[in-house]
Chains A and B, each alone.
Chain A
Amino acid sequence: DTGVSQDPRHKITKRGQNVTFRCDPISEHNRLYWYRQTLGQGPEFLTYFQNEAQLEKSRLLSDRFSAERPKGSFSTLEIQRTEQGDSAMYLCASSPIGLAGDQYNTGELFFGEGSRLTVL
């Protein structure tokens, strides 16, 4: 399977602990995105990378959250000092970049199955 893979699929942690999620995008996809989905809601944008550069961060991404994509391939999302409100599904997606940037970007994102976080 050459789709987007996320690890771990499920994580249960106690409040105050740190957690890290990993995302492996589809190879050759330059763009990588993180979204968060809470129960009964649609996914919400958190941040995105073009290659190794983090180009945009949502205001939802507090200082306790940090995302990296050091070599422009896989990405990690770390949450420090977790709170119960962090409980959610964390979704990773990737997309190719068009020949002329956004103008030719089809807008299709390829999503992984998500990492579900439960903070007790």
Chain B
Amino acid sequence: AQSVTQLDSHVSVSEGTPVLLRCNYSSSYSPSLFWYVQHPNKGLQLLLKYTSAATLVKGINGFEAEFKKSETSFHLTKPSAHMSDAAEYFCVVSDLFSGGYNKLIFGAGTRLAVHP
């Protein structure tokens, strides 16, 4: 069965410093992986997705993630944090043999705080 583990429940960075949000996944087959962001009182928004093309995926707002099959990881990074990046981030997995795109498995989330 597929699952997602987000290694940090809270991450705090200073504005202008790099961001690293860690995610490990477990999937029986080739997974599709996503990062979604949830700002307060806003709907979940897709940041980026990996679907078996390039292993380094670029998303919106300067975020990117690298798929590492040997490490079963899909960490999210950004070179320089902005105050507006403060939000909850979810790593998500789906695979075609366990409900496909119709059933997404979310991690527990990482709350990112950005300080001036």
Residues of A within 8 A of B (CB): 3-4, 31, 33, 40-45, 48, 55-56, 91, 93, 95, 102, 105-114
CA distance A31 to B44 in the complex (A): 17
Minimum CB–CB distance from A60 to chain B (whole Å) comes to: 12
Contact check, B49 vs A107: say whether CB atoms are below 8 A apart. yes
> Given known contacts A102-B96, A107-B51, A113-B43, is B109 in contact with A42 (CB within 8 Å)?
yes
**List of B residues within 8 angstroms of A3 by Cβ:** 43
In the complex, what residue of chain A is closest to B50 when comparing beta carbons? A107
CA distance A91 to B90 in the complex (A): 15
Residues of B within 8 A of A (CB): 4, 9, 32, 34, 36, 41-46, 49, 51, 90, 92, 94, 96, 99-109
**List of A residues within 8 angstroms of B100 by Cβ:** 102, 105
12 residue pairs bridging A and B, Cβ less than 8 Å apart: A42-B92, A42-B107, A42-B108, A43-B106, A45-B99, A56-B102, A105-B101, A106-B49, A107-B101, A108-B46, A113-B42, A114-B43
